[in-house]
Chain A
Amino acid sequence: MTDATIEKPRSELGIILTGVARNPLGLMGLIIVGAIVFSAIFAAWIVPYDPIAMNIQDRMQGPSASHWLGTDQLGRDTLSRVIMGGQVALKVALPAVFGAMVIGLTLGMIAGYGPKWLDNMLMLLFDTIRSFPTVMFALAVVALVGPSLQTVVFVVMATSIPTYGRVARTQTLTLRNSEFILAERSMGASMARILGVHMLPNIIGVLAVLAAMDIPTVIALEAGLSFLGLGVKPPTPSWGALLKDGYALIRQTPWLVVGGGLPIIIATLGFTFLGESLRDVVDPKLRKNR
């Protein structure tokens, strides 16, 4: 009898994370996203100052030891507002993308697996929503119900659902005539079982990659709405609002633009690197083709 080391089977998540970490860009993305998520979760503890506390005497200061990114027109610490702005960005991006993914996935699978008339109806609905320019749609909704965090989440979710729905539908159509699905069907499996147990695991990976790639788009959209003054309400800090104030005051203090712009760039890069690496791990065929 020989000694044999039996390796504990690694979890799916562990395999994916290891795969991402092996790619230098993926590792960088992981670190950036980790840092953003960490700072967003612990924002209240790590901000050096109260991000909404005004001190007009100290307004529009440049970077210093006490205010690393300077202060805004109301004397508020820009770094603290950047950190809290990250929390707002994720508060919008995560629920919006997650919600859009869940609804889009469900509707897409139903469209792909269900009867043709239902497929046509859902596709018509998706195309109708997609035909609205996102920003115009957002402006219309904001004009109707007023600006708030919830409004931004709703707008992003509503405009993103068709994208996830279409991808899920395509994947479902590809899989619906696969042998294992036909076998399940011949054994009398219900539609819910086929979709939930057999198809979902084969689709979710692609959608997760799409979601990771979508997060920076959503962050930029939230920032765009806040830049137009139609995102979260003042005095809640937001990267877009920082950019807006910075743009108006760029001749007086350029640091606000830096404070608002840099995190958007970094977050976009981080989520994009992470998304691309995830795609490579989840779908190695794509990596070979690149």
Chain B
Amino acid sequence: MKIEWMKAPTGRRSFLKGATALGAAAAMPMGWAGHAFAQDAGTLRVRAYGDAPNMDPAHSVGVVEEEIHASIYNKLIQYKPGSEWGWQLDAAAMIEQVDPTHVKFALRDDIGFTNGHGAMTAEDVKFSFERIVADATESPNKPDMGPLSHVEVTGEREGTIVLNEPFAPLWSIALPYITGNIVSKAAVEAAGGRIGSDPVAESGPYLRASWSPKEKTVLQRNPDWKGDAPAWDTIEIYPIDDENTAEIAFEAGELDLTRVSLGSVARYRDGVPNGGTLVENPSLFYVWLGMNLDHPKLQNKKLRQAIQHAIDVPTILEASYFGAAEPSTGIIAPGLAGNRAQGMVAPQANIEKAMALLAESGETNVTLSLDILNKTTYTTMAQVIQAMLAQIGITLEINVLESGAFWASGDNEDLQLVLNRFSMAPDPSYATAWFTTEQAGIWNWERFRNEEFDQLHAAASAETDTAKRAEMYQRAQDLMEESGAYRFITHEATPVVHSSRVVPALRPDGLSLLRYFGKA
């Protein structure tokens, strides 16, 4: 087996710079030293939309925690910053798919865990991956690992990932995302098998120095890190839920990077304060209007199709997203295999066709309800849809629900229409997974049941030929749209502003890869 060992790049310049800063700081009074660090040694201040109390990747609830985990732990591979989805080596010196169900890897020999837990070994990889799929762990992220059977340890730093069946998302989700984080077997076992709010042992380029709940998480350089030196000494992550607040903080110079609201994009296009830059990335999220196929009022396919054609997506996007988002053609975003160049129903409304379909349906005096989450984006969208459906004679009543009630709508059999938005990981299987027959009444709120769709979803996950896989997902979305249960609206967008000090490292969907952030 050929092992491509990576050179441990301890940069001389980085070392000298760090040593000089430390020496200078030590010579200064405490207060001044702190000031000097904030200004010169480099503190990156970024905003997260939520707090990150959990340091266990097995129980990670999403991107906020993953931003930190990806900095303090290592994975075999990490996402590559840029505008196209791809991965790069991280803890793996070599990784190779030897056949559809076997992936060989060799670890770098220069990565160690903190708190005296020794070097990272293949046993740690085995422990970390198998822990995710073990029933005892009860990891909500287990599906991301797909059909993982086990990890065979073939040497101290070598092993083979064994799958029960081929699994294409291994390279796009399982390894470079949440489930790919490698934790220390010894440390986790010593902690009783579960990591809480304190990472028991870290290995990444940063260490979590402190966490003040709902206030700030501070990451600091790992002094023992032997890989490419990170550009920033300290990263402060501020949980700020409200985008308006984050924008004000950014404009006041208190943040170096934040996602901004779509409503502010036009303003920032005219100029970002303090010499900053606006970066507009497409998002993977998908937003759609769903129709419950089990509801007696929505049994008529022509009625559902009339609704599809009566809704003018560009108008919705203009009103709710200020024209900063593009219409979608399905649930799979551009840039991912399976994205459709165009849907079966054009984004623009066709009122004549909608009226003709409604007449064909034989339905009269149609009154329907639309359930939405209590956010201005959705109330705006819902009112536009209400006005559009009124044009063809359908009366729409809007039910605004708070988040608890809304997200419990899966088993609500009285649900008629619903405006929904799901998050997404960069693999098409992540989108289709929620619309299978098995998910009806759970996350498949439309109760869309289609055997061909289910087969395509299963087969596409195991298909390693990208072109064939893309065709399968395109067909799956055709089936969804043909059912009349879906009016696809948008994938939204992820506009980000950053200060002139920062060279951001972002995923193609605009999310931060903090360990790769550079200095301008």
Contact = CB atoms under 8 A, between A and B. Distances in A.
Interface of B: prevailing SS: helix
B399 A146 contact: yes
Interface of B: 244, 247-248, 261, 263-264, 267, 315, 318-320, 322, 374-377, 379-380, 382-384, 386-387, 397-402, 404-405
A54 interface: yes
A252 B319 contact: no
Does more than half of chain A's interface fall in helix, strand or loop, or is it mixed? loop
Contact of B383 (A54, A147, A230, A250): A54
B380 A74 contact: yes
Interface in A219-268: 228-230, 233-235, 241, 244-245, 247-252
Contact of A74 (B244, B375, B383, B402): B383
A147 B398 CA distance: 10
A54 B384 CA distance: 8
B374 A228 contact: yes
Interface of A: 54, 56, 59, 73-74, 139, 142-143, 146-147, 228-230, 233-235, 241, 244-245, 247-252
A75 B405 CA distance: 30
Given A56-B315, A234-B383, A235-B398, 16 more contacts: A54-B383, A56-B384, A59-B319, A73-B376, A74-B384, A228-B402, A229-B400, A230-B402, A233-B400, A234-B398, A235-B386, A245-B380, A248-B244, A250-B244, A251-B264, A252-B264
B137 to A, nearest CB: 33
A54 B264 CA distance: 22
Nearest to A232: B400
Contact of A56 (B264, B318, B376): B318
Nearest to A253: B263
Contacts of A250: 244
A252 B374 CA distance: 20
Contacts of A241: 379
A62 to B, nearest CB: 14
B402 A235 contact: no
A89 B374 CA distance: 20
Contacts of B376: 73, 244-245, 248-249
19 contacts: A74-B319, A74-B383, A74-B384, A139-B402, A143-B401, A143-B402, A228-B374, A229-B374, A229-B400, A230-B402, A233-B400, A234-B382, A234-B383, A234-B398, A235-B386, A235-B398, A248-B376, A251-B261, A251-B263
Contacts of A143: 401-402, 404-405
A185 to B, nearest CB: 53
B289 to A, nearest CB: 16
Contacts of A228: 374, 402
A251 B374 CA distance: 20
Contacts of A248: 244, 375-377
A139 B406 CA distance: 13
Which one of A139, A248, A250 has the greatest number of beta carbons of chain B within 10 Å? A248
B384 A251 contact: no
A261 B234 CA distance: 42
B263 A229 contact: no
